Amino acid sequence: MAKKEAGKKNDSKKSSAQKPLVAIVMGSQSDWDTMRHADETLTQFGVPHESRVMSAHRSPALASEYGSNAEANGFEVIIAAAGGAAHLAGVLAAHTVLPVLGVPMKSDALNGLDSLLSTVQMPAGIPVGTLAIGKPGAVNAALFAVAILANKRPELRKKLHDFRTAQDLKIRSTRL
């Protein structure tokens, strides 16, 4: 696992004193190397968050308890990552009306196609907003969470505009 352990509350400078708004949840510690990109992106935007490991299959009671209490605990968005028969995002979504963003992890057997399909194919009534497989999905889930929070937070909206401008300038200034 990279520097920071998943399962610890986010301790970035700006956000350490605040209650976490975003939960990053993953099915296994082995997902952290991908999901740290979501953690880093939220830190970059100064969004307080926590990262936890729990599994829809290996710790089902914990997953259902965490989802059931998420709203009362002050979270506004949940990012849920899992691989293989990836049911974590769906199980959390079944226990909360908060927006749940699913990130399919790459898998050894099917390269993440199994994770993608099992995360995205939710039955009508329990939505999971599913992002891309792997690192792009982890980064974009964090950006999507920021966009959701930005609806009521002008300072975050401005940061998103600045982020897009910086990306645009980087492309424009690229010379090969």
Where on the chain is the footprint of ligand RP5 (CB under 6 A)?
26-28, 30-31, 55, 82-84, 105
20 versus 27: smaller Cβ distance to ligand RP5: 27
φ, ψ dihedrals at 65, nearest 5° = -65, -45
Shortest distance, CB of residue 64 to ligand RP5, whole angstroms? 15
Q: Which is nearer to ligand RP5, 91 or 149 (CB)?
A: 91
**Distance of CA 1 to CAs 5, 87, 151, Å?**
7, 23, 34
CB of 96 to ligand RP5, least distance (A): 19
Q: Which is nearer to ligand RP5, 91 or 150 (CB)?
A: 91
CA proximity to 148, closest of 34, 38, 21: 21
Among 136, 87, 25, which Cα is nearest to 6's?
Answer: 25
Shortest Å, Cβ 41 to ligand RP5: 19
